[in-house]
């Protein structure tokens, strides 16, 4: 197995992932990643996390030749930066035996060395792509498929593995995800597929996959991204990448085993956190390892205006100890205040004019006490919640993305008031129970202050549409299912990869049309071709276990490219739950829901749901998902754990009298809830009630499953 040549300079094109650092007075810091000047244009144009070049000049004394990777950079106040730097032996791809921390130096390309400090770190499981060879015999494809399944089964369950095939074009067989079922199904398509005798040039194929790897999940996660190029003979692959670990391996068990060893060794011992104090202006820098042929150039972006003038302390720069700001403030001038008030008044009309109520308005936003407000735009969020006293908001920052959430860097986020969630317990708990398979959005509690007055506790979330696109490769469209108005499921097109926003819905309609007349095993095959059926049935099972009466219009469909093994591609769908509401009644008393004679499905109102549950073969798979959910993701022990976490987190927020007094929904339950002690008690009571409802539902479903399975 051979590693890439690190001396090939990458393109200096402008980069996408603008990352920024929240200036936190009193050292409450949130930082930014992969800092580049300018505004993040969004998920459509992924690009490398830092501009890297091979610096000119003679090499330092040689004590080995290193491949260097710059994975992640994070801005800190006062000209500070923290970089995640890889230093690997170019000959073997493995880490050097010694800890190189004392030998890592950082210098300005225009001046002397900068104050810096390095420490060796182990990275968490990251993103791994396997690039299949263009031609293999049927027997070789079968053998390689088995080797890949063995490889995947031995990897960390949190490692997201994707499968590509090198042909006349580079096709995506399985997207980056933790679920190994989809990977197995992709390998089945590969085994039954055809060869491509006229493949794309190897360098071009590698560059395509590196581009996908670089863009997936954005600049928030600080993890390693790896590409394993499989071939008959271990290729000496050529790549200009200095942020993705690219390696060649023989297309067999031995090659995959060697690749796994290389990835794990690099992740555990090949990376360093490098803390640097430099100028507050944008500066070109060079990383070097003394007494070694190892140098990598890059750029540190200028300190954000709100962070300028702070003291930079190398010893204090440590993103692992980052504390996120507990408070976000919307700060208005006179015109902004009037615009905001106009939106509030629009929600109080007998018939809400949503176009007015949800229109954008300008605002300032403060992320730390005393900070000069940042420029931003915002709008009210939600439909039924527009009537609430405490409104929900979507906020778009003017400028680079901020780290306001773990493993997340974004310039647009959502603030949910939870006004329609009794005592605020259910939705945060459901999000945790659904994660990561059915809910992939980062979130946490935060206090929101508007125009100097606290509005209480909110959930801060990544904006779903943007993150659903960033979290996957080659997204073709994002649909949100609406409440039905006809005999067909209705959708809003949230995002399209082309200029024609009608195409994602047209493709989904074509997929549904392709199911016409199919039943039993033939229906299952057709469904699996374009829908992650196991995940979708798991979603229906989860909604039944949690007795959700309102989920038909609380679901996103994300369509991504998927290869069919025969040279073509189509759109394949996974789903993400949204705005959960559990242990509640169905719409209109259940008149729209599928009539389940076994009484196992609950409020299945979508036409797709009815189509699936009416088929005995698919229904049997649904029952298996119910059993699996009760024994796995939604087992009682996990429900108890997540309820306890939600309760504790909320109660920790309910300690300041002004915050407790702002939680008007609690006072609707008990007028005394302005007292923080009463507010905390209401949260605890609600958690207990949810657990009691879960226990009753669990017992009922267990008995009904037994009855169903006893039928001849």
Give the pLDDT score at 138. 92
- Asked whether residue 63 carries a pLDDT value surpassing 50, the answer given is yes
- Asked whether residue 14 carries a pLDDT value surpassing 50, the answer given is no
How far apart are the C-alpha atoms of 304 and 291, rounded to whole Å? 35
**pLDDT for 597-651, tens place per residue?**
999 999 999 999 999 999 999 999 999 999 999 999 999 999 999 999 999 999 9
Q: Which pTM was predicted?
A: 0.89
How many residues in total does the chain contain? 712
Mean pLDDT of the chain: 89
CA dihedral of residues 659, 661, 664, 668 (deg, nearest 10) = 140
Give the pLDDT score at 24. 33
Beta-carbon contacts of 193 under 8 Å, excluding residues fewer than 6 positions away, are 141, 165, 564, 565, 566
Q: Using alpha carbons only, what angle is made at residue 435 by residues 429 and 438, rounded to the nearest 5 degrees? A: 110
- Identify the helix (H) or strand (E) that includes residue 607: helix 607-613
Q: Name the percent of the chain lying above pLDDT 70.
A: 91
Q: Work out the pLDDT band at 128, boundaries 50, 70, 90.
A: very high
Helix, strand or coil for residue 551?
coil
Mean pLDDT along residues 297-314: 89
* Residue 407 per-residue DSSP state: T
- Asked whether residue 111 carries a pLDDT value surpassing 50, the answer given is yes
Cα 611 to its chain centre, rounded Å, is 30
- Asked whether residue 580 carries a pLDDT value surpassing 50, the answer given is yes
Mean pLDDT along residues 656-669: 98
Give the pLDDT score at 706. 98
- Asked whether residue 32 carries a pLDDT value surpassing 50, the answer given is no
Give the pLDDT score at 400. 87
Mean pLDDT along residues 425-450: 96
Closest to 442 measured CA to CA, from 413, 477, 401 = 413
CA dist list (Å): 204 to 168, 169, 226, 236, 244 = 11, 9, 17, 14, 15
**pLDDT for 488-512, tens place per residue?**
899 999 999 998 999 999 999 999 9
Give the pLDDT score at 9. 32
- Asked whether residue 35 carries a pLDDT value surpassing 90, the answer given is no
Mean pLDDT along residues 585-607: 94
- Asked whether residue 704 carries a pLDDT value surpassing 90, the answer given is yes
- Asked whether residue 323 carries a pLDDT value surpassing 60, the answer given is yes
**pLDDT for 205-245, tens place per residue?**
999 999 999 999 988 889 999 999 999 887 677 677 899 99
Burial string for 534-571 (b: 16+ CB within 10 Å, else e) reads: bbbbbbbbbbbbbbbbbbbbbbbbbbbbbbbbeeebbb
Give the pLDDT score at 57. 47
How far apart are the C-alpha atoms of 1 and 219, rounded to whole Å? 29
Helix ranges restricted to H, 155-191: 180-191
């Amino acid at each position: 197995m051979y590693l890439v040549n690190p001396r090939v300079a990458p393109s200096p094109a402008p980069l996408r992932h603008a990352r920024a650092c929240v200036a936190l007075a009193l050292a409450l810091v949130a930082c930014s990643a992969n800092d580049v000047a300018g505004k993040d244009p969004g998920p459509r144009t992924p690009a490398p996390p830092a501009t890297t070049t091979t610096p000119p000049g003679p090499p330092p004394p040689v004590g080995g030749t290193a491949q260097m990777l710059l994975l992640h950079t994070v801005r800190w106040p006062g000209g500070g930066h923290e970089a995640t730097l890889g230093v690997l032996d170019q000959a073997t791809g493995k880490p050097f035996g010694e800890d190189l921390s004392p030998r890592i130096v950082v210098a300005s390309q225009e001046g002397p060395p900068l104050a810096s400090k390095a420490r060796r770190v182990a990275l968490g499981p990251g993103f791994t792509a396997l690039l299949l060879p263009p031609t293999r015999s049927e027997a070789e494809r079968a053998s390689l498929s088995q080797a890949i399944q063995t490889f995947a089964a031995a990897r960390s369950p949190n490692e997201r593995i994707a499968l590509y095939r090198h042909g006349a074009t580079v096709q995506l067989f399985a997207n980056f995800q933790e679920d190994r079922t989809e990977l197995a199904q992709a390998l089945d398509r590969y085994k039954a597929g055809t060869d491509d005798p006229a493949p794309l040039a190897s360098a071009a194929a590698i560059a395509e996959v590196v581009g996908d790897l670089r863009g997936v999940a954005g600049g928030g996660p600080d993890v390693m991204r790896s590409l394993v190029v499989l071939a008959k003979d271990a290729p000496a692959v050529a790549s200009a990448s200095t942020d993705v670990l690219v390696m060649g391996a023989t297309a067999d068990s031995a090659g995959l085993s060697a690749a796994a060893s290389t990835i794990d060794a690099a992740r555990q011992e090949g990376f360093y956190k490098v803390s640097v104090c430099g100028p507050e202006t944008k500066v070109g820098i060079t990383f070097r390892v003394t007494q070694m042929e190892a140098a990598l150039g890059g750029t540190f972006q200028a300190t954000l205006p709100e962070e300028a003038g702070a003291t930079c302390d190398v010893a204090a720069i440590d993103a692992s100890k980052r504390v996120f700001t507990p408070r976000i403030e919307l700060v208005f001038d006179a015109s902004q205040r009037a615009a905001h008030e106009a939106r509030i008044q629009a929600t109080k009309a007998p018939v809400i004019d949503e176009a007015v109520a949800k229109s954008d308005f300008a605002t300032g936003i403060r992320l730390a006490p005393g900070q000069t407000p940042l420029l931003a735009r915002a709008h009210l969020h939600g439909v039924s919640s527009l009537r609430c006293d405490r409104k929900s908001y979507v906020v778009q920052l003017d400028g680079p993305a901020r780290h306001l959430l773990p493993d997340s860097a974004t310039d647009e986020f959502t603030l949910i008031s939870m006004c329609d969630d009794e005592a605020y317990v259910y939705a945060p708990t459901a999000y945790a129970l659904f994660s990561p398979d059915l809910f992939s959005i980062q979130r946490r509690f935060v206090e929101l202050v508007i125009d100097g007055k606290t509005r209480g506790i909110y959930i801060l979330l990544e904006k779903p549409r943007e993150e659903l696109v960033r979290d996957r490769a080659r997204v073709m469209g994002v649909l949100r299912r609406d409440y039905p108005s006809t005999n067909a499921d209705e959708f809003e097109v949230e995002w399209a990869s082309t200029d024609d926003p009608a195409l994602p819905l047209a493709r989904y309609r074509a997929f549904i049309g392709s199911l016409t007349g199919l039943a039993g095993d033939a229906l299952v095959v057709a469904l699996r071709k374009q829908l992650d059926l196991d995940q979708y049935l798991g979603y229906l099972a989860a909604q039944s276990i949690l007795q959700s009466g309102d989920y038909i219009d609380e679901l996103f469909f994300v369509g991504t490219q998927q290869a069919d093994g025969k040279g073509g591609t189509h759109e394949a769908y996974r789903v993400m739950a949204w705005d959960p509401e559990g242990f509640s009644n169905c719409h209109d008393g259940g008149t729209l829901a599928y009539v389940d004679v076994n009484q196992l499905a609950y409020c299945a109102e979508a036409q797709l749901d009815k189509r699936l549950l009416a088929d005995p073969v698919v229904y049997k798979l649904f029952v298996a998902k119910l059993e699996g959910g009760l024994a796995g993701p939604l087992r009682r022990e996990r429900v108890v754990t997540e309820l306890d976490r939600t309760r504790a987190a909320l109660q920790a927020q309910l300690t300041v009298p002004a915050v407790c007094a702002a939680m008007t929904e609690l006072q609707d339950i008990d007028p005394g809830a302005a007292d923080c002690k009463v507010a905390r008690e209401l949260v605890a009571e609600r958690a207990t009630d949810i657990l009691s409802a879960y226990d009753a539902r669990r017992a009922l479903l267990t008995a009904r499953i037994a009855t169903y399975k006893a039928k001849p």
